[in-house]
Amino acid sequence: MKILWHQGKQFIPDVTTANLPGIFRGRPIISREKVDELALIELCPTQAIAANPVSIDLGKCTFCGECAIQFPQKISFTKEYKISTNERDSLVIKEGIDEPILVNPALVRKEIHRFFGSSLKLRQVSAAGDNSCEWELNASNNVQFDVSRFGIDFVASPRHADGVVITGPISINMAEPLERCYHAIPEPKIVILAGTDAISGGIFAGSPALDRSFLNKYHIDLYIPGNPVHPLTFINGVLSLLKKTK
Ligand code: SF4
């Protein structure tokens, strides 16, 4: 009893309002402060920073924090973990704009809410992932985050799934297994990209070892940035897609 009292609650009662510790890097804010933009752009390992206006593409950002360390007057990272969206352009944060990143309800396909509003089974494909996003997706089902409480689960077979969650930059070797997995999922199905590597290729972008043609062929329903993705980012993103949050 003493141990249980000491540990307190093991689960997060409300995953939509949970507070994260200060070390977490979520949505960045870019001030209008004048800095050496060339130096700022050059320090980014994934070319996520652009000029005129200064912007950060969260689909490319590895959240290494180097830009905020070198240019604290220009860039800071908030603890905002609700950064998933169904619009790729919404992942580009521009200077002077401090607005939340949202799932656009007008772009969510009608059948998604109709078919998956109460239950969503997902197949996860690690397409040359480094196991970091995969671990965090796994953690979303632990006792703290407990994504199953919303009827969202990962399943072992694509034939039992309603959609696929892709992690990793998609190597040539994983391109065909990913395609096969996609076709094994019955219609209607959803496609989710989880993590910087899946969204843009991350530090592997442009590598001849990748085959990202899958992304040009099929509709992407949700982009979940992060390196790795935080379980709260994943859960809130999927809940927004399913219209289970306001
Ligand atoms: S935190 Fe993102 S934008 Fe900043 S340097 Fe790292 S990868 Fe580039």
pLDDT of 9 reads: 77
Amino acid at 57: D
Distance 87 CA to ligand 1 centre (A): 21
**Global pTM value:** 0.94
pLDDT of 245 reads: 66
pLDDT of 1 reads: 86
Closest listed residue to residue 78, CA positions, set 137, 20, 12, 18: 20
Ligand 1 near 30 CB (within 6 A): no
Distance 97 CA to ligand 1 centre (A): 18
pLDDT of 133 reads: 97
Distance 46 CA to ligand 1 centre (A): 7
Phi, psi of 70 (to 5 degrees): -80, -30
pLDDT of 20 reads: 87
Query: Which residue ranges of the chain lie beneath pLDDT 50?
Result: none
Ligand 1 near 227 CB (within 6 A): no
Ligand 1 near 48 CB (within 6 A): yes
Q: Ligand 1: which of 41, 54, 55, 56 to mutate, judged by most atoms within 8 Å of the beta carbon?
A: 56
pLDDT of 80 reads: 96
Distance 64 CA to ligand 1 centre (A): 5
Ligand 1 near 61 CB (within 6 A): yes
